Amino acid sequence: DILAPPPAQLTLAEVDNAIVEAMASATPEPAYSTLVYQYIRPSIVFISVKNGTQADGESSENPAQEETGPSNTDESDPSDRSIPNEDGEGNRPNDGPTPGEGNLEPQNPARGGLGSGVLINDNGDILTSLHVVENATEIEVIFADGTESPAQIVSTLPEKDIAVLTPSKLPELLVPATLGNPNALNIGDEAYVVGHPLGLYGSMSAGVISGFNRSFRPQNSEERLEGLIQIDAAVNPGNSGGPLLNRYGQVVGIVAGLANPTEDSFFIGIGFAVPIDVAGGAAGLPPY
């Protein structure tokens, strides 16, 4: 009816209420860190070792720093991936068992220890730190879907503390990580570490790239690691061998250890990673 009166104008309060209701019903975009975790989660591997020579798989690193300084070298599909639950804990696809979840018990020296690793190709090869597995008499790996398998060392790069493991059994869904270019990193870029610190499965820490071309001599080692990436994302025993990630969820390094002037071997803000273009050489990956 053209003679009908126009609708009443909304008051300012009604407009504000409508905006508040619309914003409350909208789903916010996930944080970058959430996307990074979802992207890498299926590629993370839990590594358990048995040996008769050391207290745990990380203790050959124990990861205390004796000395650091500039290096003398010039080295400078996601929908299939698991999603963290509401508590922020990484759930495995198919609800597989989660080692170390909830409670953390001291490890038995006779049993060995633990570390982290990351799938790097369709063959199921796993990149990790050599010090995690070098003294092992048995190596067991657990994939993100709960698949467990014995593994053996097939290649090493001792001067970079890198080892490549091959498992006897692969999961039904194999999701290798996407490798990034560490040479594209800048100081201040986001840095993420995912691994199993102190046996807490699938934990993530975040920080920034703090420096490049660092050198580091792990405790109980005569050799210095050179050309390392320095990060301030938290690194603790159990993180070694896990991936260092950029904001796109790409692996740009393998966690090597942490600097610590105390005897406690826990993080104080300085961690180190081997650039992935160097670490990948142990598995025959082409450099950038």
Give residue-wise pLDDT tens across range 142-191: 999 999 999 999 999 999 999 999 999 999 999 999 999 999 999 999 99
The parent domain of residue 53 ranges over: 33-283
Sheet strands (E) in 143-234: 148-157, 162-167, 190-195, 203-218, 225-231
CA distance to 22, 73, 104, 174, 263, per residue, from 195 (Å): 39, 28, 15, 18, 22
Any domain includes 57: yes
Q: Each residue of 66-106: pLDDT tens digit?
A: 344 444 433 334 333 333 333 334 443 333 334 433 333 33
Mean pLDDT highest for which of 202-216, 218-232, 267-281? 202-216
Considering the domain boundaries, does residue 16 fall inside one?
Answer: no
Whether 2 is covered by a domain: the verdict is no
> Does residue 262 form part of some domain?
yes
Q: What percent of the chain has pLDDT over 70?
A: 73
Quote the number of domains for the chain.
1
Q: Is the pTM of this model over 0.85?
A: no
CATH number of the domain residue 158 falls in: 2.40.10.120
Residue 20 lies in a domain: no
Going by pLDDT thresholds of 50, 70 and 90, the confidence category of residue 280 is confident
Q: What is the pLDDT of residue 89?
A: 41
How far apart are the C-alpha atoms of 237 and 239, rounded to whole Å?
6
Domain membership of residue 7 (yes or no) is no
Residues with a catalytic annotation lie at 131, 161, 240
In residues, how long is the chain?
288
Question: Is residue 163 one of the residues assigned to a domain?
Answer: yes
Split at pLDDT 50, 70, 90, the class of 264 is low
Residue 21 inside a domain? The answer is no
